[in-house]
Amino acid sequence: MKAFHGTIIHSPKLGEIEILENALLLVADNGRIEAVEPRLDRDEVPIFLQSRGLHPRQGNTPASIKKDADSKDDAAADVHYLARTQFLVPGFVDTHNHAPQWGMRGLGQGLHILDWLDRITFPHEARFADPGHARRVYARCVDGFLRQGVTTASYYGSRHAAATDVLADLCLEKGQRALVGKCNMDRNAPDTYRDADAAESLRDTEACIAHVRARDPDGRLLQYVLTPRFAITCTPPLLRGLGDIAARESAPQAQGGMAIQTHFNEAEQEMTSTRALFPEFRDEVELYAHFGLLTPRTILAHCCYASESELDRLRQLGCGVAHCPVSNMTVGGGFMAAPVRAFLDRGIPVGLGTDSGGGFSSSMLDAMRQAIVASNAREVQSGGALKGLSIPEVFHLATLGGAKVCGLGDKVGTLEVGKEFDAILVNADPARPGIMTMVEDEDSLGTVFEKFVMTGDDRNIEQVFVRGRQVKS
């Protein structure tokens, strides 16, 4: 078992930060948080643990000594005492990410979305027909996100089933919680990079679903997510077939339903093309709803444009939004500041996404910062009607908000009893390498946290845990 004594910071409610100072957090060997005891002095920690039948040990005890201790006392707890400049926060949840684009981040910035796909993205993703190439890139991708504290990611794979299986395997091996989906696309892409037809795309999808379930039958870390890239690259038979799978998986015996992800109202060029292909539908809400792809498990990426009727319908359907402020402002055609405040005001779930590839940064810290910038721009555009986002709000979107969008709000997103221990140990010590704003003696814990969110980077992310397993040290 693990125990941490020091500062815990999380956001159980939108717009609020809860800072627990001198708290003891106890993680059971099954990866769940067993206890959170606030306001416990350091010298009271051994007494508290002993009251629960646990023998406390220093968390930095050498492994050889730990082994001897284990042989004498199976009910031991490794205690990690945090310094003033260290604190625990929940792991970051990236609600929208293209794993095949890890190696092309930053390319094609400024291009309109469809031009960017044709010139940069599709040729790059076509290389994932080679499973060896997929393993090499995906290993770097998963490692890179774990180093940056992304404990949960919703991944678009390439259109290749074998490569998607490789991605799922690597997430499981490396310990990242993930939603993984083969990208469905049977038209409006090069012959070298599209499914032959709807039937092939659906067969490959079923095979990938079976693979994910065979690798992680209980869904402890892995879930499959249905992934129509967007309506432009999907024929009606393919969208209908994916909707049929979603309906099958939402049946009572299917235990909760399957996640779905797609791009939605991302850019004017994309929306114009969608209307030309599907003139029978008034908007994208009507289109995707018609094919059964809008459910409480649906993750809609971008949503830069939304009418009042679309907002009301999304709220009724219970869909979640993956807000990707970095890519919205660098690829697509224009400064696309999504109306995040309008979503939040209506109770529509919102999380943050790096959209790594479309954006230039794979950092959730950058996504938080850019979300503030985008919301301030939207406030000006709206004449003050849509207020900008605060630091507590964007931190919530990066943690519990994202967990809810991914259907995991009951498991992760906060550091509360009963949740699984997906967490980041932050170290803001000014003596460490990095460029974070230096911590002063007079700084409050709230000030230290704010400095980390606004100026910290992966060098301040000292350790990362998923279900209690340390995946970065």
> For the CA atoms of 287, 292, 294, 295, what is the dihedral angle to 10 degrees?
170
pLDDT of residue 250: 87
pLDDT of residue 252: 60
pLDDT of residue 66: 40
pLDDT of residue 53: 92
pLDDT of residue 146: 98
pLDDT of residue 88: 98
pLDDT of residue 336: 81
pLDDT of residue 356: 83
pLDDT of residue 68: 40
Phi-psi category of residue 188: left, alpha or beta, with phi > 0 → left and psi -120 to 50 → alpha? left
Cα angle 250, 251, 252 (rounded to 5 degrees) comes to: 115
Amino acid at position 327, single letter: S
The tokens for 329 are: 């402002």
CB pairs under 8 A, 24+ apart, for 361-364?
361/105, 361/326, 362/102, 362/105, 362/144, 362/145, 362/148, 363/148, 363/457, 363/458, 364/92, 364/94, 364/148, 364/149, 364/150, 364/398
Whether residue 428 contacts residue 456, with contact meaning beta carbons closer than 8 Å, is answered with yes
pLDDT of residue 2: 95
Whether residue 434 contacts residue 451, with contact meaning beta carbons closer than 8 Å, is answered with no
pLDDT of residue 61: 40
In which residue ranges of the chain is pLDDT below 70?
59-74, 251-256, 334
Amino acid at position 180, single letter: V
Q: What is the pLDDT of residues 69-91, one digit of tens each?
A: 344 455 889 999 999 999 999 99
